[in-house]
Amino acid sequence: MSNRQYEYSKSNSGNRYHEYGLQGGGKSNRYYDYNKSTSGSSRKMKELLLKSDNQVCADCDAPDPKWASANIGVFLCLKCCSVHRNLSSDISKVLSVTLDEWSEEDIESMVEVGGNSSANAIYEAYIPKGISKPKQNASIEERTKFIRSKYEFQEFLKPSLRMISSKSSFKTCASGVDSDSFYSSATSRNAVSNTGASISIGTLKVKVVRGIDLAIRDFRSSDPYVVLALGQQKVQTTVKQSNLNPVWNEELKITVPQRYGALKLQVYDYDTFSADDIMGEAEVDLQPFIAAATVFSDEELPDDMQVGKWLKSSDNALMKDSTINIIGGKVKQEIHLKLQNVESGELELELEWIPLHQ
């Protein structure tokens, strides 16, 4: 028989899911909302709560944390939670594990990060010598100093990189360390000032997987091909004859300079006797992907895990959120785009990062 049992009970805010730990005869005070529409997410959250690294505070190692930062993906004790509440909600969205109602999106965000160990592998990757995490009995001043440096100023990442903690999405910092930063980094400032458009930082491998419901440009079909452009570089796929749902599965490579912009995609209809007709276009923001890849570029990659996300919004062409993962020792990202400035059409891509030393 399992050493744990579970009970459902009614409350004004809906069904609550209580977990009773039988070890020691005690009752766990952890529970979370359970609704039919989010049952799958709730089960994932339950499993996440039971992981040993999530049984202590991510910032001070205090046992049995009752709070969490939904967008960072960590569990927190009450004392560290009070510091997080003083950060902007864009940096840390604090929820009670036992009292607040969790949306399916918040639960999925926590599950995708993977908990304290996965998050700290990023946020505490490069803690300088002489700096240590606060203890359970640390003062509020000590906690504030460490937590702001860790999440707000993001000083414990690899030098010259910063990331946005919300939804685990990464991006590089456009300037040096914040002037109010508790721990300055001359290396970070120098890395930013010495960047240049002509210096390569790696290679982007783009797998053009397939097109979906592409626009008609000939009599009843089209002869599509895809052009990728990064700066002055351009590469393209082969032409697929008379196909509105072409499958390419073609890999194209582009060198990435230190100063890079968006990856631009255009789909064309090949025409033998006149100019090729445009069949839609889109842009891919490379910052989350390249920043995540560069974090691990000089070290052995960890086991398979999610390390970032590019979020769907009204100002990009994503059909859905696009996660960045380490798979088989490589940083990869799957992207599903809605083609712009055209009556119909979608495009699926896969990105893979190739470091300079490979």
**pLDDT on residue 326:** 87
Query: Which tens digits make up the pLDDT trace of 52-73?
Result: 889 999 999 999 999 999 999 9
Distance CA 30, CA 49 (A): 9
Distance CA 238, CA 261 (A): 25
**pLDDT on residue 312:** 87
User: Do the beta carbons of residue 21 and residue 38 sit within 8 Å?
Assistant: no
Distance CA 110, CA 73 (A): 5
CATH, range 1-194: 1.10.220.150
**pLDDT on residue 108:** 86
Interior angle at CA 100, CA 94 and CA 104, nearest 5:
85
Low-confidence ranges of the chain (pLDDT < 50): 1-38, 160-161, 163-197
Q: Which DSSP state fits 63?
A: B
**pLDDT on residue 138:** 95
Indicate the CATH number of 200-354 among 3.40.50.720, 2.60.40.150, 3.90.1150.10, 2.40.50.140: 2.60.40.150
**pLDDT on residue 9:** 32
Task: Break the chain into its structural domains and give their ranges.
Answer: 1-194, 200-354
| Same fold yes or no, 1-194 and 200-354 | no
